[in-house]
Amino acid sequence: MLGRIATPILVVLIGATPALAQSTSWVVPEPSGLALLGIGLAGVAAGRILSRKPPQN
């Protein structure tokens, strides 16, 4: 019973999502090349640290 009621409501909400996304006026600035390089280097450093094996006693 609840599934029959919830299905049309979910279809309407999911269908309205693109229209709601177009109505927002947020402007996200494009990151600079230096910022992207910094994020990449931080990711490499974090990956190397996290992939190390723990020391064996």
Cα separation, 23 vs 12, whole angstroms: 17
Question: In this predicted structure, what is the pLDDT of residue 51?
Answer: 92
Question: In this predicted structure, what is the pLDDT of residue 35?
Answer: 92
Q: Tokens 């600079």 map to which residue? A: 32
Question: In this predicted structure, what is the pLDDT of residue 23?
Answer: 61
Tell me which residues of the chain have a pLDDT lower than 50: none
From 43, 47, 46, select the one nearest 35 (Cα to Cα). 43
- CA distances, 14 to each of 8, 11, 26, 51 (Å): 10, 5, 21, 40
Q: Which residues contact 1 (CB under 8 A, 6 or more apart)?
A: none
pTM (global) more than 0.85: no
AA letter at 25 = S
Q: What is the pLDDT of residues 24-39, one digit of tens each?
A: 666 777 889 999 999 9
Question: In this predicted structure, what is the pLDDT of residue 37?
Answer: 94
